[in-house]
Amino acid sequence: GENVEQHPSTLSVQEGDSAVIKCTYSDSASNYFPWYKQELGKRPQLIIDIRSNVGEKKDQRIAVTLNKTAKHFSLHITETQPEDSAVYFCAASGNSNYQLIWGAGTKLIIKP
Amino acid sequence: DTGVSQDPRHKITKRGQNVTFRCDPISEHNRLYWYRQTLGQGPEFLTYFQNEAQLEKSRLLSDRFSAERPKGSFSTLEIQRTEQGDSAMYLCASSPKGLFSYEQYFGPGTRLTVT
């Protein structure tokens, strides 16, 4: 079955700098890759996603890149702000039951 | 508010009691998922419905857990004979209709504390 690995587990960056979180997946049939942001005590919030027919997608300060050959995808956050502090989860899907397979999460800390 | 809603938001129960949670998905979303999440961990898949049919259930899920979605709209998750290890956040998510609609939108969760 599918397996998603995410790293780093914790990332601390200076406010204004960029942050990059990386995930790898094992099932070449996966074709949908979302990223969720979860603040403490809140629900996971879908912030951006990408499908396998696209190599990159941007939405203001966030972007996701996908390398199908290497089976990895990354979240890029530019000009980080204090409100970006949260846990970020990657996931992969593409099987018939639409189930998301989740990474273990990255705690992003923005230092003032 | 047209988002996913869950009720109750918090539940404290004594070990051995039964509890039931409700999830109302986004209108016209035909897929519904239940997850469990403990502190510091990612969401753990419990079960999945497409319309009223329960199509998958985690192999890790105890027989004490049961879920229903009788009319293909709201869903309930029941835990019988609760144990302290059941303490967690129970999250519900829904997905739109469509062959390529994989995105899941989460509700606020029900936090269960078993004493």
pLDDT in tens, chain B (115 residues): 579 999 999 999 999 999 999 999 999 899 999 999 998 888 999 999 999 999 988 887 889 999 999 988 999 999 999 999 999 999 999 999 887 888 999 999 999 999 9
- Decide if pLDDT at A88 tops 90: yes
Chain A residues whose C-beta sits inside 8 Å of any chain B C-beta? 32, 34, 42-46, 49, 51, 89, 93-94, 97-100, 102-105
Tokens found for residue B2:
């047209």
Closest-CA distance of chain B to residue A14, Å: 23
User: Judged by CB atoms within 8 Å, which residues 10-69 of B form the interface with A?
Assistant: 31, 33, 40-43, 45, 48, 55-56
Residues 6+ apart with CB under 8 A from A54: A66
Spatial distance between the Cα atoms of B53 and B29, rounded to a whole number of angstroms: 14
Of A34, A89, A94, the CB nearest to B103: A34
Please report, rounded to a whole number, the percentage of residues in chain A having pLDDT higher than 70. 97
- Decide if pLDDT at A107 tops 70: yes
Residues on chain A touching B57 (C-beta within 8 angstroms): none
Spatial distance between the Cα atoms of A96 and A100, rounded to a whole number of angstroms: 11
Closest-CA distance of chain B to residue A65, Å: 17
Spatial distance between the Cα atoms of B34 and B98, rounded to a whole number of angstroms: 20
Q: pLDDT band at residue A92, thresholds of 50, 70 and 90? A: very high
- Buried (b) or exposed (e) across B68-104, using 16+ Cβ within 10 A? ebeeebbbebebeebeeebbbbbbbbbbbeeeeebbb
Specify whether the CB–CB gap between A64 and A44 falls below 8 A: no
Spell out the alpha helix ranges (H) of B13-103.
Answer: none
Closest-CA distance of chain A to residue B79, Å: 21
Closest CA to A28 of A105, A94, A111: A94
Dihedral (Cα; B87, A83, B94, A103), 10-degree rounding:
-70
Residues on chain A touching B108 (C-beta within 8 angstroms): 42-43
Closest-CA distance of chain A to residue B42, Å: 6
Of B42, B100, B105, the CB nearest to A102: B42
pLDDT recorded at residue A96: 67
Number of C-beta neighbours around residue A68 at 10 A: 15
Coil, strand or helix at B110? strand
User: A99–B48: do the CB atoms touch at under 8 Å?
Assistant: yes
Closest-CA distance of chain B to residue A92, Å: 10
CA distances from A24 to A76, B35, B43, B70 (A): 15, 22, 18, 38
Beta strand segments in chain A, E: 4-7, 10-14, 19-25, 32-38, 45-51, 56-59, 62-67, 72-77, 86-92, 101-102, 106-111
Question: Residue type at B95?
Answer: S
- Buried (b) or exposed (e) across A18-54, using 16+ Cβ within 10 A? ebebbbbbebeebbbbbbbbbeeeebbebbbbbebee
* Chain A CB within 8 Å of residue B9 CB: no
